[in-house]
Amino acid sequence: MAELHVFPTASQHAKAEMQGYKTDNKQLLPQKRQNLLRMMRRSVTRWIPDRLYIAHRFQKHFGFRPNLVNPETFNEKICYRRLHPEPIFSPLSDKLLVRDYVRQKIGSETLLPLYPVAQSLSQDDYDRLPNSFVLKANHGSGYNLVVHNKADYSHETMRRLSDHWLASNFYRDSRELHYHSITPRLMCEKLLLDENGKIPKDYKFYCFRAEGQEPRVFIEVTHDRFTDFHVDYYDQDWNLVEVVNERFNTNCPIEKPAQLDRAMEMALKLSEGFGFARVDFYLMRDAIYFGEITFTPTGGMKNFRSSAHDRAWGELFDHRPMTKEFGYEDMEGNRY
């Protein structure tokens, strides 16, 4: 049987940025002891109020407490959002409901095909699935299983893993309040591979808006997410720019993708009405595929190259909502 191959979670990406891939003593502990310590920490921290939990985690990483009343930096504003999300954040963070928003705003051609599955993966579901796909849960980050060859995974293995996802409370672990109201559901997408048969690069469009100003966009490009995760950042004119600590960068510019301008237009369309939103796409040679919309990337723990970079990004948007009406009705009949 193949080893389970899951996407790195957003928190793992943030942890990679925060730790710089350093091995610590916890990684040297036996796995059972690690699991026991993790369970003990969770049982204690779940009773800590969200504001105190977020402030503690922020101070532990950065060495000072965040301003969660009048936030100024990018990281502080993202932490503020974890406590005070806009109502629309929930359906747009739901990996199933957001598909209807994408369909209404930019059309359905960017949506990856879905294969029907039940709430608990049945043997019939398993038998009907194609040879390759990506199994997911809709209510958080990290609930992904990449399947290149279904024969490598038994039905029981997939069922146990997906049932574990559906029983997980992503809000409780992340303290991002907009995930609290998302009903956990199972979903299965077509596996997308590039011309080399690999998972394609992820292009993350950081879309900023401020009253009276033109939108600003920065693009994060992820490299080798499973083997040697690195990121580079570009401005909207495709100039390589400094954002995070240089140890996370390749410092090797790549050619501007042919689909970049069209994808940027789509990202701006999907992020309309928000002071900030990150919209992710996969840019293929002849197609663009939607990934997700994120309102609290890295949970406000982004490892900027300097405090000045953190503050500069924070100045690009206001943490207060820009608008109350989006003209959007989700699949459950809720209007925003």
pLDDT exceeding 70 applies to what percent of the chain? 85
Where is pLDDT greater, at 209 or 231?
A: 209
**What pLDDT is attached to residue 145?**
96
The chain-wide mean pLDDT, for the chain, equals: 88
Of the candidates 303, 1, 315, 309, the one whose C-alpha atom is nearest the C-alpha of residue 151 is 1
Structural domain containing residue 176: 10-314
**Pair type for strands 216-223 and 230-235:** antiparallel
Is 5 part of any domain?
Answer: no
Is 57 part of any domain?
Answer: yes
Is 325 part of any domain?
Answer: no
**Band of pLDDT at residue 98, cut at 50, 70 and 90:** very high
Is 4 part of any domain?
Answer: no
pTM: 0.86
Compute CA distances 302 → 100, 116, 334, whole Å. 30, 36, 32
**What pLDDT is attached to residue 15?**
45
pLDDT in tens, 236-264: 999 999 998 887 777 888 999 999 999 99
CB 294 within 8 A of CB 278: yes
Provide mean pLDDT across the span 196-201: 88
Q: Domain count for the chain, please give it.
A: 1
β-sheet with 144-147: strand ranges across: 144-147, 133-137, 186-189
**What pLDDT is attached to residue 299?**
97
Is 71 part of any domain?
Answer: yes
Q: Is the per-residue pLDDT at 76 higher than 90?
A: yes
CA dihedral 95→97→102→107, nearest 10 degrees, is 120
Where is pLDDT greater, at 137 or 40?
A: 137
**Pair type for strands 203-208 and 144-147:** unpaired
CA dihedral 267→268→269→274, nearest 10 degrees, is 110
Where is pLDDT greater, at 152 or 197?
A: 152
Where is pLDDT greater, at 324 or 24?
A: 324
Q: Which residues of 145-174 are buried (b: 16+ CB within 10 A; e: fewer)?
A: bbbbebeebebeebbebbeebbebebbebb
Of the candidates 132, 107, 106, the one whose C-alpha atom is nearest the C-alpha of residue 188 is 132
Where is pLDDT greater, at 9 or 244?
A: 244
Provide mean pLDDT across the span 14-41: 53
**What pLDDT is attached to residue 10?**
43
Q: Is the per-residue pLDDT at 54 higher than 60?
A: yes
Is 2 part of any domain?
Answer: no
Is 134 part of any domain?
Answer: yes
Is 100 part of any domain?
Answer: yes
